[in-house]
Amino acid sequence: MSPATRSAGFLAGWIFPSRFRSRLACGLQGSLGFLLGVLAAPLSAELPVVRLAHVFPPGGKAGTSFEVTVAGSDLDEAARIYFSDAGLSATPKTDDNKFTVTIASNTPPGVYETRFVGRYGISNPRAFVVGSLPEFIFPPTNTVISSAIALPLDAAINSRVPPNAVVWFKCSARKSQRLLVECLAGSIDSRMDPALILTDAAGRELERNRTGGLLDFSPPADGTYFLKVSDILYRGGDDYFYRLTVSTGPRIDFVMPPAGLPGTKSNYTLYGRNLPAGKPAKGLGIDGKPLEQLSVEISFPSVPATSQSATDSSSSGSPRKTSPGWVPTPALPAAAVVDGFEYRLSTPKGLSNPVLLGFATAPVVLEQEPNNKPSQAQKIAPPCEVAGQFYPAGEQDWFVFDAKKGEVFWIEIFSQRLGLPTDPFVLIQRVTKNDRGEEEAADLQELYDSDNNIGDREFNTTTRDPAARLEVKETGSSFSALNTARALSIVSACAGKRPTSAWSP
């Protein structure tokens, strides 16, 4: 008997009656053999995966240097921070996970990518904002209205919200001064879902926004006004950061037409708020707030590629280089086909927000009202790209073009892919004349959502924008009707080929 078996038999005789000794000895011997086998087996392991949770502050002003702190997991032996633009650089400090970031003065405003590089490689990307306004960092100690922090106008505030709390700010404003309050959070990789409430000194609520959008406020009288900021579910912590601005500068909501041919220069109409020398846009508003309009001349780059530097023109006609690596393209995967460049309006109050102007592949035609029924259909000549609006709500737009037997047309809508809450519908009809010379229309196709998904769940490319191939079986005229319940859209019809882009504001 082996020593292991004798030991097992002794234990069995001491603890258990003799009839269990043999069975227990065999069991222990088998268990010891299994344990030795496990210990002798080779062990496998994986290196840690570096993960960047956030960078704070999440942005800075061009032409400045400042300290940032990075947080995440497995951020060992920091080597550097990688940015998606050469105008940004970072130098590690002696403290763990702290860097000095320098932004070159000629770096265009925008959102860039930043990654941590350390012992375990390069991390996932996080958003980093380059702005043109003065920057401030405030600790989240202003959790009661009596400790409200004074907000400087036309500046960017970087801060966080604590859990189960709100933070308060105050600002002085003059009667009828138009203030634009914006809180960036989710769009810069914060976990915060911001809610904003604006009150007067007496605590009366004047404006609110619970969707993280824009507060457009014109004070009814000179005085001090209070802004309450929180996460909509009152969550908080280090990952719940935000950038807050109260601006008197320009903001562009959309441009008409929203596209142009590469290498051309033409007049475009900006619609927005606080536009210098802007005129009231009659009948146009967003969320009950009136818009202004301003005509400017814009030069389109000659090369329609986002990898190329683009030049825009301000209202004064001075060109400005924009970042070759960033345009404000909507985030839907299906929007990857959208090709355009960034435009900002330069004013004495600073630069406006960016808007995306598209590169057209055919002449751009503006929708002409009235075209709300078949008898008023607007005549177009493909190939072309039609820029129009669904305004007011529930409107239909009708277009007509001549088509010969054997011709092939592609009709495609770009609307939801431009970030708009639309669900367009297209009806295509063939129009002929009977023996009495009367026009008769027959339905050919109804176009709904585009279900083509090349990326499965990970990169879902389906969209509510319709697209279809139309092969003409019989010579005649074709009506195209567009309809949607909300917002804006555009139709593009190109004979003989499929357009690469078509645009709407």
Residue-range domains of the chain with CATH: 3-39 (no CATH), 51-126 (2.60.40.10), 135-247 (2.60.120.380), 251-359 (no CATH), 364-495 (2.60.120.380)
Which tokens hold the place of 395? 């409107």
Say how far apart CA 485 and CA 401 lie, in whole Å. Answer: 25
CB 491 within 8 A of CB 480: yes
How far is CA 228 from each of CA 142, 198, 247, rounded to the nearest angstrom? Answer: 10, 6, 17
Rg (CA), the chain: 31
- Give residue-wise pLDDT tens across range 239-248: 999 999 999 9
DSSP 91: E
Helices 3-15 and 21-40, axial angle in degrees (round to 10): 130
Name beta bridge partners: 157.
136, 244
Residue 277's region, left for phi above 0, alpha for psi from -120 to 50, else beta, is: left
Please tell me whether the peptide bond between 219 and the residue prior to it is cis, using omega within 30 degrees of 0. no
Between 331 and 237, residue with greater pLDDT: 237
Q: What is the pTM of this model?
A: 0.81
Burial of 275 (0-12, 13-18, 19+ CB in 10 A): buried
pLDDT for 312: 43
Please tell me whether the peptide bond between 134 and the residue prior to it is cis, using omega within 30 degrees of 0. no
Label residue 211 by pLDDT band (50, 70, 90). confident
Residue 263: what are its φ and ψ, rounded to 5°? 80, 10
How far is CA 166 from each of CA 150, 347, 499, rounded to the nearest angstrom? Answer: 16, 34, 49
- Give residue-wise pLDDT tens across range 69-99: 999 999 999 999 999 999 999 999 987 789 9
Which tokens hold the place of 372? 């709300």
Say how far apart CA 46 and CA 417 lie, in whole Å. Answer: 40
